[in-house]
Amino acid sequence: MNFSHEKQPGKNFTGIAIVIVLHVIVAWGIINGLGKRMITKMAEAVETKIIEEVKPPPPPETPPPPPPPEMKAPPPPFIPPVEVQVQQPPPVQNTIAVATTQKPASTELQRTPPAPPAPVQNAAPVRIPAVADFSTCAKPEWPKSSLRNEETGTVTLQFLIGVDGRVVDSKVLKSSGFRDLDKAAQVGIGKCRFKPTMVDGKPEQAWMQMQYVWSLE
């Protein structure tokens, strides 16, 4: 069998003729201005309009409030002045109470003697008590028996301080409860020097009182 197809030359010429006719029509349209009209339509400028926003009219201005009325104070009432009648005292007349015919012994006026001056009160003397200077002595030593028994307490002593600052005499006013502690404090502090009692800036021999605390801390 022969599978080959025979070519039909008539159909090929028909297709070519249709293509040629279409090209002729397009060329004719270009020549007659169809293309110019299309370009003109495309080239027309687009007209734009800017619409301005219309602002509402401003509100009418509110008139300012009227000023408050001025308050004027009423005029003060008129008070007539009070007439005061002042009675003038009668003139003083020099009268002679007693008349005498005797001639005075002297024509000089007697003067009143001046009053005696008031007695001057002596001011109280300025007194500064004696003070111990512990830098001149050591602390009292613990008695061995008291330290061993852990004895503590406060003893009140009294010292007689001379004008040179030395202890003249001493005594125990209140015991600590232990005789050995009282004696040790009396002897130890008795070795210190003191600033004597001052009376009106002058040293004076006087008694002074002090306490000594025995504590194991």
Q: What is the pLDDT of residue 5?
A: 46
CB-CB contact of 172 with 211 (8 Å): no
pLDDT at 187 over 80: yes
Nearest in space to 212 (alpha carbons), one of 191, 192, 193, 184: 184
Rounded Cα–Cα distance for residues 174 and 182 (Å): 9
Backbone angles phi, psi at 197, to 5 degrees: -65, 135
Mean pLDDT of 2-30: 68
Q: How many helices (H) and strands (E) does the chain have?
A: 4, 8
CB-CB contact of 175 with 155 (8 Å): yes
pLDDT at 52 over 70: no
Q: How confident is the model at residue 32 (pLDDT cuts 50, 70, 90)?
A: low
Mean pLDDT of 28-41: 60
CB-CB contact of 130 with 206 (8 Å): yes
Q: Which amino acid does the sequence have at 159?
A: F
CB-CB contact of 166 with 195 (8 Å): no
CB-CB contact of 168 with 160 (8 Å): yes
Q: How confident is the model at residue 95 (pLDDT cuts 50, 70, 90)?
A: very low
Q: Which residue has the higher pLDDT, 185 or 75?
A: 185
pLDDT at 184 over 60: yes
The hierarchical CATH code for the domain 127-214 is 3.30.2420.10
The per-residue pLDDT for range 196-211, each reduced to its tens digit, is 999 988 999 999 998 9
First-to-last C-alpha distance (Å) of the chain:
144
Per-domain boundaries in the chain: 127-214
Question: For residue 159, what are the β-bridge partners?
Answer: 170, 208
Range in 21-30, 71-80, 176-185 the model is least confident about? 71-80
Q: How confident is the model at residue 162 (pLDDT cuts 50, 70, 90)?
A: very high
